[in-house]
Amino acid sequence: MRVIINCAMSADGKIALPSRVQIKISNEDDMKRVHLLRNECDAVLVGINTILSDNPKLTVKEKYVKNPKNPLRVVVDSKCRTPGNANVLDRSAETLVVVAEGFSKQMGDAEVVECGKGRIDLKKLLKILEKKGVKKLLVEGGSTVIWSFLNEKLADELMVFVGPAVIGGKGSLTLAGGEGAKCFEEIIPLKLIDVKRIGDGVLLHYRVVK
Ligand SMILES: NC(=O)c1ccc[n+]([C@@H]2O[C@H](COP(=O)([O-])OP(=O)(O)OC[C@H]3O[C@@H](n4cnc5c(N)ncnc54)[C@H](OP(=O)(O)O)[C@@H]3O)[C@@H](O)[C@H]2O)c1
């Protein structure tokens, strides 16, 4: 399975306001790129904190793509905290809520699957998704989930849109949070594939070196 991480960050590497409230970093041309990318992926994955703070729909907007094909929406949510009225639980696309062992509960029309003890076992999750026919997975954040995918060497590509703004704030989330590397050997090496100007921002495209 090909796993692509996509994220938008400010010039100082932040992905949200210090309050963790979402902020628009992408411009319209980049939004179009993201929706085209979603359209060609079989599944799109986010962490529960992104659901709680941004309430994204994770569908492909017709405004950007004609005859959109919505990917499976996947939420990594150990304790099954996805609110019943979350946009990912609407009926516009299929949704898989991935919870830790013992945390299953009814989630409207969404499928709920247990995968891992205490925390989601992402390697195992990729196998489950593969069995569902997912060949291309888009990871859209947030910071903790992105670190996990990179740290566990599960991501193949990283696409970062750098918007023309500085958010600042010592505690503001950056592209990759989690535990972070404890020594040089644990940093995640990347190979730059492409750099492209998109209007007032820049798209950096990396291959993750494994
Ligand atoms: N600029 C952008 O492109 C962009 C995109 C997306 C999000 N964001 C921002 O990112 C912020 C949210 O990021 P976040 O780091 O707080 O949270 P997150 O990555 O959205 O979710 C992290 C949570 O997922 C759950 N989880 C379960 N298993 C996991 C595993 N193996 N690895 C990692 N996480 C696992 C954990 O909660 P449980 O233990 O409860 O399961 C964990 O705390 C928001 O402010 C949002 O606005 C920005």
Instruction: Please give the pLDDT value at position 11.
Output: 98
Q: Which CATH superfamily hosts domain 2-208?
A: Dihydrofolate Reductase, subunit A (3.40.430.10)
The strand pairing partners of 3, in sequence order, are: 137
Q: Is the CB of 151 under 6 A from ligand 1?
A: no
Give CA–CA dist 22/151, Å, rounded: 24
- For the stretch 8-61, pLDDT in tens is 999 999 999 999 999 999 999 999 999 999 999 999 999 999 999 999 999 999
CA triplet 117, 88, 85: central angle to 5 degrees?
A: 95
Helix (H, G, I), strand (E, B) or coil at 79: coil
**CA nearest ligand 1 atom 13, residue:** 142
How does residue 5 score in pLDDT terms, banded at 50, 70 and 90?
very high
- For the stretch 134-189, pLDDT in tens is 999 999 999 999 999 999 999 999 999 999 999 999 999 999 999 999 999 999 99
Instruction: Please give the pLDDT value at position 150.
Output: 98
Helix (H, G, I), strand (E, B) or coil at 73: strand
Give CA–CA dist 34/36, Å, rounded: 5
Q: What Rg, from alpha-carbon coordinates, does the chain have?
A: 16
- For the stretch 78-124, pLDDT in tens is 999 999 999 999 999 999 999 999 999 999 999 999 999 999 999 99
Please classify residue 91 by burial: count the beta carbons closer than 10 Å to its beta carbon, then call 0-12 exposed, 13-18 middle and 19+ buried.
exposed
How does residue 194 score in pLDDT terms, banded at 50, 70 and 90?
very high
Instruction: Please give the pLDDT value at position 10.
Output: 98
Domain ranges of the chain: 2-208
For the chain, the average pLDDT equals 97
Q: Is the CB of 22 under 6 A from ligand 1?
A: yes
- For the stretch 31-45, pLDDT in tens is 999 999 999 999 999
Q: Which of 12, 27, 46, 50 to mutate to test ligand 1, by most ligand atoms within 8 A of the CB atom?
A: 50
Q: Is the CB of 87 under 6 A from ligand 1?
A: no
Could you tell me if 57 and 92 are in contact, meaning their C-beta atoms sit under 8 angstroms apart?
Answer: yes
Q: Is the CB of 141 under 6 A from ligand 1?
A: yes
CA 1 from centre of chain: 16
Q: Is the CB of 120 under 6 A from ligand 1?
A: yes
Q: Is the CB of 126 under 6 A from ligand 1?
A: no
